[in-house]
Amino acid sequence: MILKLNSNVIPSSEITSENNYFNRRHFLTALGVGISSGLLPKLSFAQSESLHYKPRVITSLEQETSYQDATHYNNFYEFGTDKTDPAQNAHTLITRPWTIDVEGAVKKHKTLAIDDLLNKFPLEERIYRHRCVEAWSMVIPWIGVSLKKVIDWCEPTGNAKYIEFVSLADPNTMPGVKLPLLHWPYTEGLRIDEASHPLALLALGMYGKVLPNQNGAPVRLVVPWKYGFKGIKSIVKIRFVEQQPQTTWNIANPNEYGFYSNVNPEVDHPRWSQSTERRIGDGLFAARRKTLMFNGYAEQVSHLYTGMNLKQYF
């Protein structure tokens, strides 16, 4: 599947090569997942169907942010408030073993291990534009699984209208959790229809590599039409609920951080404008870029908010 913006033609040079696709084996090994003989038929089937399966989904033709910038300039408040703190401090995070509890309005409570994510759902590589509420942006190639497919596996009941995500909050490995910076554990939420959109991803890697600790290892949420703080990291719980869940930044400051958190250049943050952005890697003196509605994904997602006042529900 290739999702295109404004009918842009995707050059063949942008499609992941067959060789890179089959490096999935190395990706699995790096995560500590052995490739058993039971998995070999699946890999063989993927080879035979390689012409019909496109592992890279192009949703941005812009130059990718460098791996160095994407992994050394980011927010992860559990490891500090400065943009460089996560890269310096997140080495303490223990990511194996790791499980995600599935709770709430589902047919049966389940536990989803990292091995389950890798073995039950196909890995995909997707290039997404990202926009942070602090008015900076990046373009990152993520590796992950479709959130919609995970939702279907969880079997939510008809009462489930929202999904609440919960991060790890371990004061022994996360120094920021010891401080009253935010309401711990970090929580985020989406409506079911938002979470079921094809663009929503549970990321396990980036740039062809296993997800670094500072970027939310071993599994994080990626929702490219929303501001970056919706991309909850190090997820340990997925809860299906009927009522709109509370979210960390909305609890901290509801006047600045709404539940929906869609990129909307017409809604300024109370302390700065959201109409333009600074692309990390452009240089200090580069011209700022115009912020695009829904971060440039309006064609794909605007129907989710038909009839909503997007200045009121920001």
Q: In whole angstroms, what is the distance from residue 33 CA to residue 21 CA?
A: 17
In a domain, residue 133? The reply is: yes
In a domain, residue 313? The reply is: no
Cis amide bond preceding 175, omega within 30:
no
Q: Identify the CA nearest to 145 among candidates 85, 195, 189.
A: 195
Residue 39 has pLDDT above 80, yes or no: no
Q: What is the pLDDT of residues 113-145, one digit of tens each?
A: 988 888 899 888 899 999 999 999 999 999 999
In a domain, residue 11? The reply is: no
Please, which residues have CB within 8 angstroms of residue 13's CB and are 6 or more apart in sequence? none
92: helix, strand or coil:
helix
Number of domains forming the structure of the chain: 1
In a domain, residue 3? The reply is: no
Please, which residues have CB within 8 angstroms of residue 288's CB and are 6 or more apart in sequence? 276, 277, 278
- The band of 7, judged by pLDDT with boundaries at 50, 70 and 90, is very low
- Taking a C-beta distance cutoff of 8 angstroms, is the pair 272, 291 a contact? no
Q: In whole angstroms, what is the distance from residue 11 CA to residue 264 CA?
A: 29
The neighbour count for residue 97, using CB atoms within 10 Å, is 10
Place of tokens 């080879």: 47
Which residue segment(s) compose the domain that 157 sits in?
18-305
Q: What is the pLDDT of residues 43-101, one digit of tens each?
A: 322 222 222 224 566 667 789 999 999 999 999 999 999 999 999 999 999 999 999 99
Q: What is the pLDDT of residues 226-241, one digit of tens each?
A: 999 999 999 999 999 9
In a domain, residue 199? The reply is: yes
Residue 283: predicted pLDDT: 87
> Is-above-0.75 flag for pTM?
yes
In a domain, residue 8? The reply is: no
Q: What is the pLDDT of residues 141-183, one digit of tens each?
A: 999 999 999 999 999 999 999 999 999 999 999 999 999 999 9
Task: Pick 17 or 276 by higher pLDDT.
Answer: 276
Check which CATH number belongs to the domain holding 55 and give it. 3.90.420.10
What does R_g of the chain's alpha carbons equal in angstroms?
19
